[in-house]
């Protein structure tokens, strides 16, 4: 008890000093904390079980997606996924959402093909979310199926194409019911792996088919869900051509005023998606951000507080776009403790937003307006070493969660008592 009180006292003292330091450069720390508390992150259910899902038919994997590693203790069923998510939520500050893929439906012992899925298969998820005060988001699932192949919504075979059109229509209907049930719009993301391993001479043909499929899918208007379209640079075994490229979805999103999803791992490594925020928000109603960490390629490593993430958060705050951007995690690392991976990713994302909210933006804009570029650069550099970490510790304390590295012990204990017993 004595050590705990000393720790709390130390956090409070450091916070007061930090608050005073930030006030000197015109930053309201209380306001920054208030804003951070309201930022919701949509957790990806697929980190808990390595993108396996609960279909009774064999999940074939593939389709441009792959989880690597064999760390023990992955969730094996719907109850274990929920238990793990609840544990993660208890270790982080703020209120967050859960992002479900269609293959995570509560199918019981029945084989339900993807063109037959219905809202009833997610009724228990909706009830669980209401009980735990967790809002749900959704994704259609085009990979890991006998009809996936290289092409789904862009497939020249009308039978296969219609199968995936029906699947996506049904996913939108499920999202609508989720949004209605939770009295908050369900955000549904559409990502398909469609592409070619080697060179193709039919780029326009496949994109024309995808355009037609999407037009058919979006014929029904809904009030309680919102659509998002996610591009990709390439998929596994589909390295040479992607039908749903960034240019394609950007054009389609502007035309139909649909949300476009920017995944941090879905672009050339030299690209910084932070630069795309301000350009796209001029022409689109909202953006979805998938926070990930590519290493050499879209390898979905656990998110850490690096320059790319910091710049992304800063651009969202600088653009005053918190109410027009939706943040979701998207990584699946099976090589480390999966609960730890979740918590690391959430905390890193929150830290990036806290740093952005503590930026002395008023003074920086004043320098820029006056062409005082040395002063602007100097203040940006000094901001990097301001005591934001003391504010972060206070945020944790205020949310009644472990301060600093103390959460590691909680995860180790959960592994000892729960996940290590899964065989």
The residue annotated as part of the active site, out of 266, 301, 347, 351, is 266
The residue annotated as part of the active site, out of 290, 301, 326, 347, is 290
Does the annotation mark 49 as catalytic?
no
Task: Find out whether 106 and 125 touch, Cβ atoms under 8 Å.
Answer: yes
**Token couple for 30:** 């209380």
3-state secondary structure of 390: helix
Q: Using alpha carbons only, what angle is made at residue 50 by residues 196 and 195, rounded to the nearest 5 degrees?
A: 10
Q: Which of 143, 119, 315 is nearest to 224 (CA)?
A: 119
Describe the crossing of helices 158-182 and 123-132 by its angle, rounded to 10 degrees.
Answer: 30
The residue annotated as part of the active site, out of 227, 230, 308, 333, is 230
Q: For strand 225-230 and strand 287-291, is the pairing parallel, antiparallel, or unpaired?
A: unpaired
Does the annotation mark 79 as catalytic?
no
The residue annotated as part of the active site, out of 125, 128, 164, 191, is 191
Q: For strand 287-291 and strand 195-196, is the pairing parallel, antiparallel, or unpaired?
A: unpaired
Does the annotation mark 113 as catalytic?
no
Does the annotation mark 263 as catalytic?
yes
CA dist 125 and 244 (Å) reads 30
Does the annotation mark 56 as catalytic?
no
Q: Which of 165, 52, 182 is nearest to 104 (CA)?
A: 52
Does the annotation mark 96 as catalytic?
no
The residue annotated as part of the active site, out of 101, 121, 232, 326, is 232
The residue annotated as part of the active site, out of 50, 84, 137, 298, is 298
Task: Find out whether 33 and 380 touch, Cβ atoms under 8 Å.
Answer: no
**Token couple for 188:** 């549904």
Does the annotation mark 266 as catalytic?
yes
Q: Please report the beta strands in 77-224, taking only residues with DSSP state E, as ranges in sequence order.
A: 97-101, 136-139, 186-190, 195-196
The residue annotated as part of the active site, out of 49, 50, 300, 333, is 300
Q: Which of 386, 326, 396, 393 is nearest to 356 (CA)?
A: 386
CA dist 195 and 200 (Å) reads 9
The residue annotated as part of the active site, out of 55, 176, 177, 263, is 263
CA dist 16 and 199 (Å) reads 60
Q: Which of 396, 383, 327 is nearest to 357 (CA)?
A: 383
Positions marked active-site: 191, 230, 232, 263, 266, 290, 298, 300, 330
């Amino acid at each position: 008890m004595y050590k705990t009180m000393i720790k709390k006292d130390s956090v409070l003292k450091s916070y007061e000093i930090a608050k005073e330091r930030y006030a000197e450069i015109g930053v309201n720390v209380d306001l920054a904390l208030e804003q951070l508390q309201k930022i919701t992150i949509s957790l990806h259910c697929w980190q808990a079980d390595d993108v396996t899902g609960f279909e009774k038919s064999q999940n074939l994997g593939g389709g441009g997606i792959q989880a690597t590693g064999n760390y023990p203790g992955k969730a094996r069923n719907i109850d274990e996924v929920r238990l793990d998510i609840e544990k993660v939520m208890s270790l982080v500050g703020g209120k967050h959402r859960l992002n479900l893929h269609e293959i995570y439906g509560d199918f019981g012992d029945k084989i339900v093909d993807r063109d037959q899925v219905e809202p009833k298969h997610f009724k228990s998820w909706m009830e669980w979310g209401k009980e735990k005060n967790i809002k749900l988001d959704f994704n259609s699932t085009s990979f890991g199926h006998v009809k996936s192949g290289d092409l789904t919504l862009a497939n020249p075979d009308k039978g296969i194409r219609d199968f995936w059109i029906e699947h996506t229509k049904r996913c939108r209907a499920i999202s609508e019911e989720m949004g209605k049930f939770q009295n908050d719009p369900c955000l549904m993301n559409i990502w398909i792996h469609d592409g070619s391993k080697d060179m193709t001479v039919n780029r326009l043909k496949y994109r024309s088919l995808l355009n037609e499929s999407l037009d058919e899918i979006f014929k029904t208007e809904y009030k309680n869900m919102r659509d998002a379209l996610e591009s990709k640079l390439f998929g596994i075994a589909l390295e040479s051509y992607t039908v749903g490229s960034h240019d394609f979805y950007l054009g389609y999103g502007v035309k139909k005023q649909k949300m476009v999803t920017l995944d941090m791992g879905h672009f050339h490594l030299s690209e910084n998606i932070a630069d795309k925020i301000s350009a796209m928000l001029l022409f689109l109603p909202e953006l979805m951000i998938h926070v990930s960490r590519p290493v050499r390629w879209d390898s979905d490593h656990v998110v850490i507080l690096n320059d790319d993430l910091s710049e992304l958060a800063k651009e969202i705050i600088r653009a005053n776009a918190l109410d027009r951007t939706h943040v979701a995690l998207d990584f699946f690392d099976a090589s480390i403790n999966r609960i730890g991976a979740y918590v690391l990713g959430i905390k890193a994302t929150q830290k990036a937003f806290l740093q952005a909210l503590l930026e002395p933006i008023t003074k920086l804009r004043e320098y820029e307006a006056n062409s005082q570029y040395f002063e602007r650069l100097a203040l940006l550099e000094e901001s990097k070493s301001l005591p934001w970490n003391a504010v972060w510790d206070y945020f944790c304390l205020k949310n009644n969660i472990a301060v600093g590295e103390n959460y590691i012990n909680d995860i180790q204990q959960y592994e000892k008592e729960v996940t290590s017993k899964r065989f």
